[in-house]
């Protein structure tokens, strides 16, 4: 257990730092996903064994597309996600054929599994033309004949690429939600990313979604270059006036060789300015009847076509099955009943040519992964549940045979003294500014295990002729929907 002085010093030194969300990769950071051979056959065997024991839960599916339209500056100025520049529909259809073939490789592994939800992301999934949406859903139904009645079937896209006929085709294919990466309503600020979307694009897309009975989620980023509290409030007030029920509102992750990091860092709000933006946005949305579901998601009750949608959150602690199909997609398979090393996180190839080559060779297109110990899986589940603002002490005890409060008591006590968490016999809940500091809290909980992983990394690195340890500290870029982070 970390001593109290270290914990308090760590918190004090991070209260004025930028927060880097870990929505997609959870624990550990992908920099530690270094195992080249991921035993898919063993994972499949474990899936069947868990189902036979009556422990299985519906499996979640991610289907990615690698392409984005060209922007100036590149990659919307901020994105760390590995993507390819869109060259035309032919390349997209060729890629879909590889996607279909990859899905077929998993068919026997998921036999008898129920699909809990699917997210078509990327990249930019609404680059597809109308005839492709039924084919995407056919791919899903072929892999999962049984789909949960309340499954969330979401397609992500950017406003300017939606059209009335495309939204109708999405609905007719069987999808029930669109998620729009709007990022900024303010057109002047949006132009800093090189994107061409206008206010009209966003409004029309929302109108088409309502016309065809689709739920719609908007993604907005705060902490944008030149953004102020005033411009942020104007955006949020406008979104509220449109009757949007689901909103994702999160801090910009800044890093890597992006335009925002290299050329506009001086235009970014300060970390404490971002905290003020979080507070103002949270209070404004709550005053309009929105509930905060996660560290980044807000929902206003009453949506006639609304669906349970809490991205990145697993409201359970015993297991998680989430498969990623496509270029750079991430998968998670784990269960507390499994032995050390049999729960896995892994990422598909981030080189599109290599992704295709491996499928042509009949291999799963996996680049690298991480085999979790039971302790690692506990941290991964703890990370994900914290995104949902609360960790059940009862659920944690049932899953891991320990009290999550006692296990990390010095951390919870220090956070409690700062009124960032509330501890009760039933749960540990993030309160006040706690959700804003979720990444800091996650990193602190994992600090002891990260020390071990760092030492292991150093001990296994090759030594050069000068007997100096050579460290490659470039983190693999995690899959993300918008602004991906590279920190632990």
- pLDDT of the residue at 306: 81
The predicted-structure confidence for 394-427, as pLDDT tens digits, reads as follows 999 999 999 999 999 999 999 999 999 999 999 9
Neighbours of 242 (CB within 10 A): 14
Mean pLDDT of 129-150: 96
Is 249 or 469 the better-scoring residue by pLDDT? 249
The domain that holds 167 is classified in CATH as 3.20.20.70
Establish if 187 belongs to a structural domain. yes
d(CA 165, CA 81): 29
**456 assigned to some structural domain:** no
Q: What is the reported pLDDT for 462?
A: 62
Question: Per the domain annotation, does 355 fall within a domain?
Answer: no
Mean pLDDT score of the chain: 90
**pLDDT on residue 288:** 98
Provide DSSP, 197-215: --HHHHHHHHHHHHHTT-E
What's the rounded mean pLDDT across residues 464-469?
Answer: 40
Q: 15 lies in a domain?
A: no
pTM of this structure? 0.92
* Per-residue model confidence (pLDDT) at position 314: 54
Model confidence band, residue 320 (pLDDT cutoffs 50, 70, 90): confident
Residue 468 lies in a domain: no
Sign of dihedral through CA atoms 230, 235, 236, 240?
Answer: positive
pLDDT exceeds cutoff 50 at 43: yes
Exposed / middle / buried, residue 182 (Cβ in 10 Å: 0-12, 13-18, 19+): buried
Q: Is residue 75 part of a domain?
A: yes
Per-residue pLDDT at 458: 84
Q: Residue 23 has what pLDDT? A: 77
Domain that holds residue 212: 31-299
The pLDDT value given to residue 313: 53
User: How many distinct structural domains can be found in the chain?
Assistant: 1
- The neighbouring-strand residues paired with 333 are 321, 344
3-state secondary structure of 55: coil
Asked whether the predicted pLDDT for residue 310 surpasses 70, the reply is: no
131-140, 155-164, 329-338, 417-426, range with the lowest pLDDT: 329-338
Is residue 343 situated within a structural domain?
Answer: no
398 is a domain residue: no
Residue 485, pLDDT above cutoff 60: no
């Amino acid at each position: 257990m970390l001593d109290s002085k270290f914990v308090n010093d760590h918190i004090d030194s991070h209260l004025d730092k930028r927060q880097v969300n870990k929505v997609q990769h959870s624990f550990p950071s992908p920099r530690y996903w270094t195992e080249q051979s991921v035993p898919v056959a063993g994972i499949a065997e474990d899936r069947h064994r868990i189902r036979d024991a009556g422990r299985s839960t519906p499996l979640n599916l991610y289907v990615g597309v690698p392409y984005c339209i060209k922007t100036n500056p590149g990659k919307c100025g901020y994105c760390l996600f590995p993507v390819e520049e869109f060259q035309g529909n032919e390349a997209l259809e060729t890629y879909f054929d590889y996607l279909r073939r990859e899905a077929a490789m998993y068919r026997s592994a998921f036999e008898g599994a129920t699909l809990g939800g699917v997210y078509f992301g990327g990249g930019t999934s609404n680059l597809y033309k109308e005839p492709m949406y039924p084919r995407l859903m056919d791919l899903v139904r072929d892999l999962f004949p049984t789909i949960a009645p309340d499954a969330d079937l979401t397609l992500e896209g950017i406003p300017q690429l939606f059209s009335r006929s495309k939204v109708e085709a999405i609905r007719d294919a069987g999808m029930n939600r669109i998620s729009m990466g709007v990022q900024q309503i303010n057109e002047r600020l949006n132009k800093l990313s090189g994107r061409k979307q206008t206010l009209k694009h966003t409004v029309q897309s929302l109108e088409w979604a309502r016309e065809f009975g689709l739920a719609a989620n908007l993604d907005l980023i705060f902490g944008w270059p030149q953004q102020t509290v005033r411009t942020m409030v104007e955006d949020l007030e406008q979104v509220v006036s449109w009757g949007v029920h689901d909103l994702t509102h999160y801090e910009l992750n800044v890093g890597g060789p992006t335009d925002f990091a290299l050329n506009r860092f001086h235009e970014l709000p300060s970390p404490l300015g971002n905290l003020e933006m979080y507070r103002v946005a949270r209070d404004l949305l709550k005053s309009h009847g929105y509930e905060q579901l996660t560290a980044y998601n807000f929902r206003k009750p009453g949506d006639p076509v609304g669906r349970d949608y809490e991205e990145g959150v697993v409201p359970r602690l015993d297991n998680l099955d989430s498969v990623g199909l496509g270029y750079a997609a991430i998968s998670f398979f784990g269960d507390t009943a499994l032995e050390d090393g049999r729960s896995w996180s892994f990422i598909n190839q981030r080189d599109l040519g290599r992704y295709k080559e491996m499928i042509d060779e009949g291999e799963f297109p996996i680049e690298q992964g991480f085999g979790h110990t039971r302790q690692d899986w506990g941290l991964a589940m703890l990370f994900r549940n914290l995104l949902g603002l609360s960790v059940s002490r009862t659920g944690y005890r049932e899953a891991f045979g320990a009290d999550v409060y006692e296990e990390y008591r010095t951390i919870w006590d220090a956070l409690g003294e700062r009124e960032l968490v509330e501890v009760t016999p039933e749960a540990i809940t993030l309160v006040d500014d706690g959700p804003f500091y979720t990444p800091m809290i996650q990193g602190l909980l994992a600090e002891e295990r990260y020390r071990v992983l760092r030492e292991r990394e150093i001990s296994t690195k090759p030594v050069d002729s000068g007997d100096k340890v050579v460290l490659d500290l470039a983190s693999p870029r995690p899959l993300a929907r918008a602004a991906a982070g590279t920190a632990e």
